[in-house]
Amino acid sequence: MQYLFCLLLLMKVYSKSHGTHARKAATSSFQMERKLRVLLMKDSNISAVADGAFTQLEFLQKLDLGCNRTLWQLFMSKGLYQLNLMVGWIDSLIDVRSFGSMSTLRQLHLEDNHLVFLNNGVFSMLTSLEVLNLQGNQINKTQEGVFTPMISLALLNLAHNQMSTIYFKTFLSIHMYSTHILLEGNRWNCNRDLQKVFHKLRSVQRLFSDDHYNLSCNAPTELMVIVLIIMITVVITVLGAMVMSRATCLTQITRD
């Protein structure tokens, strides 16, 4: 344990001593450290990871690469349990090969990146994943079957993204017997279709929308149109009544 602490400390000092210069984790960097179980490289100015850089770490269970500018086609070791890529300036799309060898991964943290779209296949190998944290990205669209392979998913965090609508089948495809879903802080367009989705979501016993009562509407289009029509109708009615009243008064004055 003391050896592990010293290694992590040296890595941190090495990174900071080189200022803001971009660094690359090479394939040979960890060949002598095969027994490492935890590797913390958060905020280390890493801009690229070489193919196979971590494949020598046969016992690696937790890897933290958060707060780096990482080009992250990582090709990890097969025994990894937890992967943190938070605040990593990940691009708008995830390469379908990125998690190809991570069938044992249980927690994946991708908070506060720049993900925009989740397409089918990106999580196809993550059959053991229990926690998927996508909070604070810019996701505005997901394909219906993107979460289907994750048969062990217990927590799906999609809070504080840019979603305005979503398909019910996207959640229905999750086959875990108990999955908690977080959706607050999105730009929901509260039309009838979306209301039906949330109503159906609450009716599925194995899916739990924990923050349902905290959801807010960004642009309730249909409701705004209805309110606007009512307001215009009221104004026209009032103006019509005023005109009729004025005309009646003028008629009486003329007769007198």
C-alpha to C-alpha distance for 131 and 178, rounded to whole angstroms = 12
Tens digits of per-residue pLDDT, 200-244?
A: 888 898 999 888 777 877 755 555 555 566 678 777 877 877 777
Q: Which is more confidently placed, 74 or 193?
A: 193
Residue 56 scores a pLDDT above 50: yes
| Cβ atoms < 10 Å from Cβ of 192 | 9
Does 136 score more than 90 pLDDT?
yes
Residue 1 clears pLDDT 70, i.e. is over it: no
Between 178 and 93, residue with greater pLDDT:
178
pLDDT on residue 181 = 95
Lowest-pLDDT range, 6-20, 38-52, 142-156? Answer: 6-20
Task: Compute CA distances 65 → 17, 157, 170, 214, whole Å.
Answer: 18, 20, 29, 31
Cα separation, 134 vs 214, whole angstroms: 18
